[in-house]
Amino acid sequence: MKWEFLNTKSNTGKYNMDYDMNLAENAQPGTALLRFYKWKPYCISLGANQDFSTINLKKAYDNNIDLVERPTGGRAILHSEELTYSVVYPLDNGFSPKELYREINLALKKGMIFFDNELEKIELEKEQPYFPNYYKDRKSELCFAVSAKNELKFEGKKLVGSAQRKLHNTILQHGSILCGDFHKKIVEFLFLNDEETVQMKEEIKNTTTDLRSILNYEIDYDLLVESIKTGFEEHFKIKFENPLNQVKIK
């Protein structure tokens, strides 16, 4: 199978989500694709089944925070100091969606170890939460408040959050690799009372971490991209090609 590679740098939330959907909807048989991107301005994304009424929209706009709906599930994320990846993968090439989810996270882990050996301590979450009960809890409004099975954690805290969607015979999987701690400010844009705000800030502090906090230096995003790209090549035993025609998004 052929693998293609794209780095589309920084764009708005709508651009990034439209680009991922366009890649998935126009996927070619026998071709997988890995894309990296960032967010400018910073952006709150909501899962496909989450209500925008949970977000203080005026406060977000007043703080130049973009808003967008993701095509995948999950809950609210403040995309800020992160590297975002997406994978488009045809389902007739060897993996079920659950297997692919695990394999992509293993490739991400290998790439981050190339970036810094300290990240050998990254582990895959072994348990799957029972989400129907979890979504009854107020903290469920935060995507990074809980880890799904096979997501990446460092010393018990979530480092990478991912989600999938199946479109016909293609899987779109994308996720956030946390590189700084600005994502924790998501709590400031939720409709909460003072007590809930304190509880939610403590929750996200205790359940998430990021590469800068782990490694104690500013993250070189270009080096991180190249490291994870190499991790994918070694894990999947492939060599990336650059696509002949990049998707055009208005």
Q: Which helix (H) or strand (E) holds 90?
A: strand 82-90
Exactly one of 21, 65, 83, 143 is catalytic; name it.
143
Beta partners for residue 176, in sequence order: 84, 161
C-alpha 36/C-alpha 179 separation (Å) is: 14
Nearest partner of 159 among 55, 83, 74, judged by Cα: 83
Respond yes or no: is residue 179 known to be catalytic. no
Q: What are phi and psi of 163, to 5 degrees?
A: -150, 155
The residue with tokens 């045809």 is 90
C-alpha 82/C-alpha 203 separation (Å) is: 20
One-letter amino acid of 51: D
Distance of CA 233 to the CA centre of its chain: 20
Catalytic residue numbers, as ranges: 143
